[in-house]
């Protein structure tokens, strides 16, 4: 029996669509540089920053967009952002090496926000170069102040990161409900007094410039509540003699990966049916992505990224700023504007939306022999090279046939190649000698059976997917990364590390 294809086709905007349309170019890159290969479009990251900026303008807000560097290791993306308006675009670094990288790519310290877990070296370099330290706790403020004093560093700008935002007590409830999920980062709002005391104690070495949060959720309500709470806490800070000016609402604006809402609906419905056993499995060995069958009822929550998102990225920021705030009623944008607060955002995934893709060569296509006309497709990459599963992101790759091997031309086959050129269900497996090395546990439908030599393009992988989990297990090569630009209508590429935001690189004169 053959399944009706359950596609989850990717959302592809014009710059990436144009690149995907140039299959010979992409094949030639992989021929030269090997599989896997990451391809980035640095121009798109600047366009995305501009989209975030236009939301600021619409709401008459000042402040900066800080790129959360951890989403991608690329130099090209960071250098392209360094070339943007310094007043508008900064960078959020979460390690000593990310800070060094940002500085070497052209960001001056005053455009840098240091977040995440910090060691003494990270704090020293941040303070030395005039970066803003987004402090996680009282202990971190103590450590930073000690370093500033000991090494006679300039008084350092700090934001304090808050967590544990609470809702109002439920009417008739048992007490206060904590609305934002527990986080290992930040200082609970309930302990804010200890922060103020520490800031007063260290007034000679650190200066409070704002309040921050980063909530790892897509929930608008939760974020809106936190934003409003920060505005109220800013008043409290002013009453205590501080002069903070910015509210930093972190990242988490999200990306829509799947183009079609209907495909996403159909797939998630089919997953539930497969878990119940009323349709054939959709996944390797019946994996349920967190769902399970308990006596004929689907239980559990699917651990999946909401891959189709009607509102994401700058649109999500716009919705957050426009919607009424839960307590004060007015929109968060109005609250910020009335108080003359700057708005800081730290988008990672959303700022690199549509900025790149990951390519893998098809190495082997083997019938699964399960009577369902399915295939194992082995790729020249492993699950670390395109960590879609790790992030629960489900989206189809795009098949780029080897030139001259289009199915329509009926080219020479060796008799062992699949004859059927209709849609086909495949399991994508990686190049490691490991049962668990599946690119995705999902059965993927492709419009036709791939052949060795074809490429699969995983689209929109720049956010966390292309290099966050890359490793050297079994000495398999990890992907090289190239930057692709267009000049005078011609497509050009260079290694990521050779990209600089100049029109004529390599010293060529105009």
CB 71 within 8 A of CB 462: yes
CB 379 within 8 A of CB 428: yes
- Interaction between residue 214 and ligand PLP (CB under 6 A): yes
> Contacting ligand PLP (CB under 6 A), which of 78, 84, 230, 350?
350
| The dihedral formed by the CA atoms of 277, 283, 289 and 291, expressed in degrees to the nearest 10 | 0
- Interaction between residue 467 and ligand PLP (CB under 6 A): no
We find the least distance from the C-beta atom of residue 113 to ligand PLP, in angstroms, to be: 9
We find the least distance from the C-beta atom of residue 309 to ligand PLP, in angstroms, to be: 12
Cα–Cα distance, 100 to 5 (Å, whole number): 47
Q: Report helix, strand or coil for 363.
A: strand
We find the least distance from the C-beta atom of residue 351 to ligand PLP, in angstroms, to be: 7
Cα–Cα distance, 161 to 195 (Å, whole number): 10
Cα–Cα distance, 98 to 432 (Å, whole number): 29
User: Residue 214 or residue 441: which is nearer to ligand PLP going by CB?
Assistant: 214
Cα–Cα distance, 77 to 41 (Å, whole number): 8
In the numeric block, the tokens 């941040």 are attached to: 126
> Contacting ligand PLP (CB under 6 A), which of 71, 133, 209, 320?
71
Taking the mean position of all CA atoms in its chain, how far away is CA 120? Answer: 27
Per-residue x/- mask for ligand PLP, residues 112 to 131, rule CB under 6 A?
A: ---xx---------------
Cα-based angle 228, 234, 236 (whole degrees, multiple of 5)? 110
- Interaction between residue 92 and ligand PLP (CB under 6 A): yes
In sequence order, what are the beta bridge partners of 472?
none
> Contacting ligand PLP (CB under 6 A), which of 348, 356, 425, 450?
348
Please tell me the total number of residues recorded for the chain in this structure: 510
**Of the candidates 153, 156, 106, 155, the residue with the CA atom closest to the CA atom of residue 131:** 156
> Contacting ligand PLP (CB under 6 A), which of 90, 332, 347, 384?
347
- Interaction between residue 313 and ligand PLP (CB under 6 A): no
What residues have CB less than 8 Å from 127, skipping those under 6 apart?
Answer: 133, 144, 147, 148, 151, 153, 154, 156
We find the least distance from the C-beta atom of residue 443 to ligand PLP, in angstroms, to be: 28
- Interaction between residue 222 and ligand PLP (CB under 6 A): no
- Interaction between residue 349 and ligand PLP (CB under 6 A): yes
The residues in 246-275 that bind ligand PLP, with binding defined as CB under 6 A, are: 250-253
We find the least distance from the C-beta atom of residue 127 to ligand PLP, in angstroms, to be: 19
User: Residue 10 or residue 463: which is nearer to ligand PLP going by CB?
Assistant: 463
Applying CB under 6 A, the site for ligand PLP has a residue count of 16
We find the least distance from the C-beta atom of residue 70 to ligand PLP, in angstroms, to be: 6
Half-sphere exposure of 52 (CA within 13 A, CB side): 33
Cα–Cα distance, 311 to 431 (Å, whole number): 36
- Interaction between residue 465 and ligand PLP (CB under 6 A): no
User: Residue 39 or residue 345: which is nearer to ligand PLP going by CB?
Assistant: 345
Residues that bind ligand PLP (CB under 6 A): 68, 70-71, 92, 115-116, 214, 250-253, 346-350
């Amino acid at each position: 029996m053959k399944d009706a294809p359950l596609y989850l086709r990717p959302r592809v905007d014009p710059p990436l669509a144009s690149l995907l349309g140039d299959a010979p170019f992409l094949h030639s890159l992989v021929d030269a540089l090997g599989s896997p290969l990451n391809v980035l479009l640095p121009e798109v990251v600047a366009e995305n920053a501009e989209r975030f900026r236009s939301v600021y303008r619409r709401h008459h807000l000042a402040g900066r967009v800080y790129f959360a560097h951890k989403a991608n290791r690329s130099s090209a993306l960071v250098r392209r952002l360094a070339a943007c308006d310094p007043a508008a675009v900064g960078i959020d670094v979460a390690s000593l090496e990310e800070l060094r990288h940002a500085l070497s790519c052209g960001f001056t310290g005053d455009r840098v926000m240091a977040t995440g877990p910090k060691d003494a070296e990270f704090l020293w370099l941040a303070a030395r170069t005039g970066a803003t330290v987004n402090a996680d706790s009282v202990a971190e403020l103590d450590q930073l102040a000690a370093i500033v004093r000991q090494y006679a560093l300039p008084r350092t700008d700090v934001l304090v990161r808050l967590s544990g935002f609470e809702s109002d007590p439920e009417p008739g409830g048992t007490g206060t409900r904590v609305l934002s999920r527990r986080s290992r980062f930040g200082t609970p709002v309930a302990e804010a007094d200890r922060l103020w005391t520490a800031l007063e104690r260290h007034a000679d070495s650190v200066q409070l410039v704002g309040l921050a949060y980063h909530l790892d959720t897509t929930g608008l309500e939760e974020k809106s509540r936190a934003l409003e709470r920060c505005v109220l806490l800013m008043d409290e800070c002013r009453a205590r003699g501080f002069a903070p000016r910015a509210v930093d609402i972190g990242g988490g604006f999200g990306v829509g990966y799947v183009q079609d809402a209907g495909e996403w609906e159909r797939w998630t419905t089919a997953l539930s049916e497969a878990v119940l056993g009323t349709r054939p499995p959709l996944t390797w060995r019946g994996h349920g992505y967190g769902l399970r069958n308990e006596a004929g009822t689907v239980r559990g929550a699917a651990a999946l990224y909401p891959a189709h998102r009607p509102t994401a990225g700058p649109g999500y920021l716009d919705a957050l700023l426009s919607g009424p705030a839960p307590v004060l009623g007015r929109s968060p944008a109005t609250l910020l504007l009335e108080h003359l607060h700057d708005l800081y955002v730290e988008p990672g995934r959303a700022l690199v939306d549509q900025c790149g893709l990951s390519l893998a060569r098809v190495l082997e296509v083997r019938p699964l022999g399960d009577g369902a006309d399915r295939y194992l497709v082995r790729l020249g990459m492993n699950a670390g090279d395109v960590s879609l599963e790790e992030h629960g992101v489900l989206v189809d790759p795009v098949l780029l046939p080897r030139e001259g091997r289009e199915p329509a031309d009926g080219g020479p086959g060796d008799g062992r190649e699949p004859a059927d050129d209709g849609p086909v269900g495949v399991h994508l497996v990686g190049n490691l000698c490991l049962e668990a090395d599946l690119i995705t546990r999902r059965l993927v439908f492709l419009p036709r059976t791939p052949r060795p030599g074809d490429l699969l393009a995983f689209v929109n992988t720049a956010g966390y997917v292309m290099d966050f989990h890359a490793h050297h297990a079994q000495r398999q090569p990890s992907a090289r990364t190239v930057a692709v630009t267009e000049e005078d209508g011609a497509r050009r590429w260079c290694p990521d590390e050779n990209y600089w935001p100049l029109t004529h690189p390599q010293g060529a004169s105009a």
